[in-house]
Amino acid sequence: MTSLISTLPGRSYTDPEVFAEEQARIFENLWFCAVKAEDLPKPGAFKTVQIGRESVIVVRGRDDRLRAFLNVCRHRGARLCVEDAGEVRRTIRCAYHAWSYDLDGRLAAAPNLAKMPDIDRAEYGLVPVHLREWLGYAWLCLAAEPPSFEETVTHSATERLGDPAAIERYHVDKLALGRRVVYDVRANWKLIVENFMECYHCATIHPELTAVLPEFAGGYAAQYYVGHGAEFAARAEGFTVDGSRGFGKLPDVSEDQDRRYYAITVKPQVFVNLVPDHVIVHRMFPMAVDRTVVECDWLYHPDVVASGADLSLSVELFHRVNEQDFDACERTQPGMSSRAYRAGGVLVPSEHHISLFHQWVNQRLRG
């Protein structure tokens, strides 16, 4: 076996043309985890999200359904919602010429509309975006014909855990948001994916994590093995920054999943981290070739959040991991432009599985 295999070339992480192609062929064609459903609690609540080159509105309708639309007025193309989040009373109204749209996207009103009876209000409604809900999040796809959600999204959990029921036992869609931290990372999105997939760096930069998950100090990430969860250290009572007790196992988590950590990558932009008493979900929003916004949610049993329990020791562990990882990615980004990295770098055996991600990226870009 060859010990060292090649990575992607440096320009893959620095060339705006490559990034534009990724926006078009990856982020605008695949399912994209956009919004946590509970962030839109009542009719009229909306959030805007950037997917590739498009701004998208996600709004809860009067029928309590979530829907998504391109954030563009059908009249003259003005952006409808300029805020990141908010609430509309009855309609989504363009501030330019006052064209207004119902929460189901249909054109509701416009100046002198009564004098234009030939206008089809459905045809000139907002352009819809495909939406599916899974794990308590709204996943969007801009493609006219989206790929199978089961084959490209939910299959990722089965492929990693080896059992389609494994993730269901955490009932992620029923968990409540305990904490959210947003990180603005000055690095290409692929560097963040690669970092998350391997643990060759864990002994070097993650002392708190390896204290709780000692096998990570050996360099092999949990994702290296199908179905494997990293076992907690004997002294660790919970997945906390000091190894202290957490909040008790989630009700349906199996005994063989207890005291173990599992990590799932859902390409192209989601990481799911499963531990017995909570779940951590990362959503990446690639904004530029060298900038990625990451929203990280810590999810707990609703009773834990409602009780006002102190989540700080639980949150702090992975918050430190995030800061350590993102700092490493930011230190790596400048090297991608170096002539020393023109042909790329190398992967050692414990990182060889990252080459599957590189192959996937190349296949997507070739169409």
Structural domains present in the chain: 1-30+149-366 (3.90.380.10), 31-146 (2.102.10.10)
| Single-letter amino acid, residue 53 | R
Confidence of residue 224 (pLDDT cuts 50, 70, 90): low
Does the pLDDT at position 161 exceed 80?
yes
Q: Which residue has the higher pLDDT, 296 or 112?
A: 296
- The b-or-e profile of 167-189 (16+ CB within 10 A means b, else e) is beebbbeebebbbeeebebebbb
What torsion, rounded to 10 degrees, do the Cα atoms 183, 186, 187, 192 define? -20
Percent of the chain with pLDDT over 90: 92
Please compute the mean of the pLDDT values over residues 124-133 and round it to a whole number: 97
Q: Retrieve residue 310's tokens.
A: 């102190």
Residue 221: is its pLDDT beyond 80?
A: no
- For range 158-183, the mean pLDDT: 96
pLDDT, averaged across the chain: 96
pLDDT at position 66, please? 98
Our CA dihedral for 299, 300, 302, 303, rounded to 10 degrees, sits at -160
Question: Can you tell me whether residue 116 is helix, strand or coil?
Answer: coil
Q: Which of 196, 192, 194 is nearest to 184 (CA)?
A: 192
CB 225 within 8 A of CB 239: no
pLDDT at 107 over 70: yes
Is the pLDDT score of 344 beyond 90? yes
Contact 65, 101 (CB under 8 A): no
Write down the pTM of the prediction: 0.96
Q: Which residues contact 54 (CB under 8 A, 6 or more apart)?
A: 28, 70, 71, 142
